[in-house]
Structure 1
Amino acid sequence: MLFRVNARPVNRRCLAGLFFVLVATPLYAASGVPDWVRTAAHQTLPDFPETTKAVVLLDETTYTVAPDGSAVEHLRHVVKILRPQGREYGYPFVWYDKDSKVLSMHVWSIDPAGHEYALKDNEIRDFSPPGDGELYSDDKAKIADPPGRDPGGIVAYEYEKRERPYLAETNWQFQGEIPHVTQSFVLVLPQGYSYTTTWAHHPQTDGIDLENHHYRWDMNNEPAIDLEHIPMRPASGSLEARMTVHYSGPGLAQPQEGTWKGIGEWYDSLAHDRVVATPDISAKAAELTQGKTDFYDKSEAIGEFVQQQIRYFVIEMGVGGYQPHPAADIFRGRYGDCKDKATLLSAMLSSVGIHSALLMVDTQRGVIDPEDPSIYGNHMIAAIEVPQGYESPKLHSVVTAKTGKRYLIFDPTWEKTPFGQLEDNLQGSYGVLLEGANSQVIQLPVLDPKFNSVRRSARFQLDADGTLKGTVTVKRFGDLAERERYLFTHGDAKEQQQYIDRTASRDFAAASLTDLKAENVESLNKDMTTSYTLSASHFATAAGLLLMVRPRVLGSLDIPVDHKVRKVGIDLRQTMQASDDFEIELPAGYVVDELPDPVKIDLGFASYESSTEVQGQTLHYKRVYTQREVTLPADKYSELQKLAGVIDNDEQSRAVLKHK
């Protein structure tokens, strides 16, 4: 977890995989199933697609706010398993930490044969997720493994949980990856309190006033957002509907109005005293920027220090999931999580006269909805204010706020993204600029394709027996260099050779790659360059006096489309540009008899162009693929399918050589 999330979906597969170490053979009590569980279990269900794994029969939430601003959530949840793959939805769970508490939890089930079970208290276990070397968190869960988790079985649970006291917001997620039949949300407020609601991926819906400060919303027969077998799928959180409730009243120390400005002011109350440049911090910033007068040069020096020299390590306890550690502690320890690194960056920049702000984002594109002011993000980065009138070709990820101020968006956590750029998964999404009274939601930039590129060039000799030999050079920049930079920074020679061999196996039946070299591995603002010598037998195929040769020797631009009707948007992942320039010296005694036709297609969001020519005894293949967008609407899928077909045909095309 990078930055604590408020009521985000939980990966049930991860929970399911851990039960074999958590749960011993249980003894279940018979009967005791409440009437509300039986009623939900016996209701008539609508027709579902055959692939539906499970269905939520009932989901009732009551959220009660006390006069002092504390809140308790009460949940009833019933799910029916429809297919064997749906067993993962039959694990009851509730998360908590040191600032929240599970007051009670009960679990029941009805197996496919109709036998009823009620779990005992000692059969509901406490679980602490294991750290991964970069994480310490006090998040825990109450979890259970009830019987009857088979097709036709019913699992139900009920809990009461005291919420974190420093939040005045709750999210009701009424849509997910399986259908929901009957569900409701009831808000109970004390005298003198008021509320507002905002909605993501769903029209605004008024609640029913039940009197005595009770309000109810119902959302029934909500379809599933099932993206499991959809290629180039968007994040599920960018589609699933939710309601955010903000409340305020006299008992709240930190009221939060339902606007982006309110979100920013709430967070400023947590973080403003953490962004303080101590003498040690100021001295280091001065050292890094000594002799530099240009805004970009100074920002880059400090940005790269925080990016490369402050180790990513997460320590989250209670409010620490939201609140950064003091900049002095981060600098002294040389480690921190995403919000810590952004905080230290801001403190160091401020000491050399450069203002910056924290920017709350989500690592999945589209999850933050501009129409739903909320703390519903999981990552924190930096927005560095660009001086008025300053221009530089190095500023690639710049946005302009409503105030007219320009900001360079930079993520000091993303270790392999060059300063001045933004990693591909954040581009085109939204973030919350945390600038106190000027806080606002902003759309993050989509970068020019040339800043994320791969350029392959090679010179080969083809023998009459079909063997191809030559040297290959690959230059990568931006996010397309990330994997290789990690490999040549952290991997050994064996791992590096295995990676390049696996890459070659996609294009050659039998190939040998030697003399592997890498340059500019750590220089993020320079091309990451690899080169090697290649020898591939049986590259050309003989047919009598003819040789069939693939001009596109290596490097595939695979676009993973299918042939189904598209109903959801398309995530292209990144803007990019890929180019190939290959020369093949023909074997003595052979001439070109037939060449593939040139290709040129431009669909706006992407373009592709290739050509194969003969220059003396050399076959010359060139192509350029440019991808200009990161997302597309569903109705563009046919165009994407067309593009994928054009590219695939070109990649498989052959030149025909004949012996004189």
Structure 2
Amino acid sequence: MHSFVRFFCLVCACATAYGASASATLPNEGNEAPSTLENDVHVFVVQHDGSVEEHDDSTLRANTVSGIDDIAQRYIWFNKGIEKVELLAADTIDRDGVAHAVGPEAIRDVQEPRSAGAPTFEDGVLRTVVFPGIEAGSRTRLVFRKTRTKPLQAGLFSYFVEPSRQPVESQRLIFDLPDDVPLHADARGYVALAPVTANGRTRYEFDYSHGSYSPIESGAVGYVTYGDRLMVSTEPDFASFAARYRIAAVDPSAGDPAVAQLARSLTANAADPRAKARAIYDWVRLNVRYVALFLGETAAAPHKVTDVLRNRYGDCKDHVALFGALLAAVGIRSEPVLLGLGPVYTLPSVPGYGASAINHAIVWMPDLGVYADTTVGGTEFGYLPAGIMDRPALLVNEGVLSRTPPTQKRERVARLQIDVASSGVADYTYHVEDAGWTAELERNMFRRATRERARQIATDRLRQTGLRGTVQIRTGELDATYGPFDASIAGSLDHFVWPDGTTALPALSSLSGGIATQVQGWLAEPVRTQPWVCIGGDFVETAQIALPQTLRVTDLPEDSRVQDRFFDFESHYVFDPGTRVVQITRRLHARFAHQMCSPDDSGMARASLERIERDTLAQIIVRTESR
């Protein structure tokens, strides 16, 4: 499981008690990491049943003024129903090495924000420690003991740790277990010491230190995909891990008559199993609120299906349990799937829960060949949200690792019409249709938006294109839950053309979100050294810019064609002197075999992307006719 001490970059109001001015800046602040984990000794004493006593002694140092926020407020997460936390020491250590104890007024418990409004999850608590008098050069030391009297899953202990990406001078992780309970580990960057057995117990120790980390590049995948991380677990393999989850998830209430009655009513008009599954999926994702706690933060067994149905909320495993029970009531086979939600595309070779390991549950329907995640309201049946595409997936019933689809259909067709008046003001209409996995994402955004929010979304897209003007928006049917989705924006543009002299008009074929936006995202880094997210699709864009008689076109962009292993792009420009209309067409087919691309892929694609970007930034030069 991920580290229980959370370091949040929050401003500590008490920090101003002593003052933190520019005079406190240390030499070479511009080249120094803002904060450092100076020392951390983390000990876990594990029993046969999976209960554990955890002892942590950690010291953080603010190297610069900008590092004050990193150390001024720290949190200990615990489950108040099964865990007890005892603070043993909490001190601010000033630059002279003098320790100032944190008073009881600066220590308080707050409910885990993600579980707000969900009473069955209110055991999650953050013990907050606010350190006073922090300045550059200060240290904060926090020592605590946490005792878990009841394991999250009987007989299992697992722990996942990843660097916080602040330099680490010294960290030691110690796991003390009965000598007949072996600990399995997958360590990358963490150095394992030789286990020591004595008095019927074995101690496993791992050391870690690291200097400054390279910055995370724009669009890069999660650091632990390729960087340092440690997973330890008492479970030897994924098959036994899946079996343990499967046994814990057994729920007699899944066959309750109320569940069966709801399933039959939802599928009364469905003609085949796929239509039935879609109807149930849509009801669950739109009617059961998702409580966004990671799998493994609370008990790994779902709540009773009848309770989830009555409460209309639950975490991912509760969604899986309810969805699976409703499917079973109409004869559709399904099984839970455990995977990692987020920007990490690998799992450790050792099974266990963690923020960048197994942390989420979805459903697999083998007879339909469909994965489904009802926790995401904006994903159409048959598709997956980007955050769980192309990920290793543990099939719970079969006990084997599979993988979610690496690619999904994505199509976008845009049409732009701009009519320019002799005054330079222009009227425009813009229509875009999405198909594939992004269609319901777009529809759901507008479905949940107020009228004012929808207008603001349209205004933002206009501004992000570099234009200014008025907007009116019309969307397609919001009650639909599948199929393409379209939206139209109309209005006027200020100063699209200047009425005197020469104007360079942008050769637009789309507002923000089209080909130009995709290409600029892929080109966000001049040189990539880290794996990055690459999601392809098909884009077709057409535009017509009608010009008044007072303007003469002096320069029109040249047609372009780009082809390589990743992209097939073409553009075409025509000016009809009779109608005074410039026509622009762009097409892009971006194909990636997987959702994660290598730095070498970026290097190979860069020349083509730069040529495409140059085309999307092309201009039409017009000049006012002499009178």
Q: TM-score range by the shorter chain?
A: 0.7 to 0.9
- Relative distance call for 1:494 and 1:290 in structure 2 (3 A) is closer
What is the alpha-carbon distance in structure 1 between the residues aligned to residue 252 and residue 598 of structure 2?
A: 42
Match of 1:245 among 228, 232, 235: 232
Aligned-pair distance for 1:154?
Answer: 2.0
1:373 pairs with 2:351: yes
Matched with 2:480 is 523
Aligned-pair distance for 1:645?
Answer: 3.3
TM-score by length of 1: 0.81
Matched with 1:62 is 43
What is the alpha-carbon distance in structure 1 between the residues aligned to residue 83 and residue 144 of structure 2?
A: 13
- Relative distance call for 1:611 and 1:110 in structure 2 (3 A) is same
Q: In 2, are the aligned partners of 1:361 and 1:380 still within 8 Å (CA)?
A: yes
- Relative distance call for 1:182 and 1:305 in structure 2 (3 A) is same
Matched with 1:253 is none
1:585 pairs with 2:546: yes
Matched with 2:76 is 94
What is the alpha-carbon distance in structure 2 between the residues aligned to residue 510 and residue 25 of structure 1?
A: 45
1:138 pairs with 2:138: no
What is the alpha-carbon distance in structure 2 between the residues aligned to residue 452 and residue 174 of structure 1?
A: 33
What is the alpha-carbon distance in structure 2 between the residues aligned to residue 645 and residue 9 of structure 1?
A: 45
1:571 pairs with 2:510: no
> Which structure 1 residue ranges, 5 or more long, are not aligned?
1-5, 27-46, 248-256, 388-406
Residues 341-363 of structure 1: CA distance to partner in whole angstroms, max 9, x if unpaired?
A: 22111111112221111122333
Number of equivalent positions: 594
Matched with 2:21 is none
Residues 80-139 of structure 1: CA distance to partner in whole angstroms, max 9, x if unpaired?
A: 211122223323432211212224431233211332233456754333334675544312
Amino acid at match of 2:582: L
Q: In 2, are the aligned partners of 1:357 and 1:434 still within 8 Å (CA)?
A: yes
Match of 1:653 among 603, 618, 627: 618
1:444 pairs with 2:444: no
Aligned-pair distance for 1:509?
Answer: 4.5
Matched with 1:512 is 470
Q: In 1, are the aligned partners of 2:294 and 2:359 still within 8 Å (CA)?
A: no
- Relative distance call for 1:240 and 1:365 in structure 2 (3 A) is same
Matched ranges for 1:6-85 at <5 A = 6-8=1-3, 12-13=7-8, 16-17=10-11, 20=13, 50-66=31-47, 69-85=50-66
Q: In 1, are the aligned partners of 2:295 and 2:316 still within 8 Å (CA)?
A: no
- Secondary structure, counterpart of 1:494 in structure 2: helix
Matched ranges for 1:339-350 at <5 A = 339-350=317-328
- Relative distance call for 1:237 and 1:349 in structure 2 (3 A) is same
Q: In 2, are the aligned partners of 1:461 and 1:586 still within 8 Å (CA)?
A: yes
- Relative distance call for 1:620 and 1:591 in structure 2 (3 A) is same
What is the alpha-carbon distance in structure 1 between the residues aligned to residue 93 and residue 542 of structure 2?
A: 64
What is the alpha-carbon distance in structure 2 between the residues aligned to residue 11 and residue 565 of structure 1?
A: 32
1:268 pairs with 2:233: no
Identity of aligned residues (%): 19
Aligned-pair distance for 1:239?
Answer: 4.5
Q: In 2, are the aligned partners of 1:64 and 1:72 still within 8 Å (CA)?
A: yes
Matched with 2:601 is 636
Q: In 1, are the aligned partners of 2:45 and 2:54 still within 8 Å (CA)?
A: yes
1:540 pairs with 2:504: no
Match of 1:113 among 96, 104, 108: 96
Match of 2:587 among 616, 624, 627: 624
- Relative distance call for 1:628 and 1:118 in structure 2 (3 A) is same
Matched ranges for 1:67-466 at <5 A = 69-90=50-71, 91-97=73-79, 98-119=81-102, 124-130=107-113, 135=118, 136-147=121-132, 149-163=134-148, 164-167=150-153, 168-173=156-161, 175-199=163-187, 202=188, 206-212=192-198, 213-225=201-213, 227=215, 230-247=217-234, 257-273=235-251, 276-290=254-268, 292-313=270-291, 321-366=299-344, 369-376=347-354, 377-386=358-367, 407-435=369-397, 438-448=398-408, 451-466=409-424
Q: In 2, are the aligned partners of 1:234 and 1:570 still within 8 Å (CA)?
A: yes
What is the alpha-carbon distance in structure 1 between the residues aligned to residue 36 and residue 466 of structure 2?
A: 47
Aligned-pair distance for 1:644?
Answer: 4.9
- Secondary structure, counterpart of 1:189 in structure 2: strand
Amino acid at match of 1:364: G
Amino acid at match of 1:13: F
Q: What is the aligned-residue RMSD (CA, Å)?
A: 3.4
Aligned-pair distance for 1:155?
Answer: 1.9
- Relative distance call for 1:282 and 1:590 in structure 2 (3 A) is same
Amino acid at match of 2:251: D
- Relative distance call for 1:470 and 1:291 in structure 2 (3 A) is closer
Q: In 2, are the aligned partners of 1:264 and 1:433 still within 8 Å (CA)?
A: yes
TM-score by length of 2: 0.84
Residues 444-491 of structure 1: CA distance to partner in whole angstroms, max 9, x if unpaired?
A: 11233xx33332113333334433334321212355446643453233
Aligned-pair distance for 1:548?
Answer: 4.0
- Secondary structure, counterpart of 1:329 in structure 2: helix
Aligned-pair distance for 1:79?
Answer: 1.9
What is the alpha-carbon distance in structure 2 between the residues aligned to residue 324 and residue 550 of structure 1?
A: 55
- Secondary structure, counterpart of 2:130 in structure 1: coil
What is the alpha-carbon distance in structure 2 between the residues aligned to residue 595 and residue 20 of structure 1?
A: 58
Amino acid at match of 2:123: D
- Mean Cα displacement is larger for which, 295-304 or 473-482? 473-482
Residues 289-325 of structure 1: CA distance to partner in whole angstroms, max 9, x if unpaired?
A: 2354423112112111212232335799998543211
What is the alpha-carbon distance in structure 2 between the residues aligned to residue 359 and residue 96 of structure 1?
A: 26
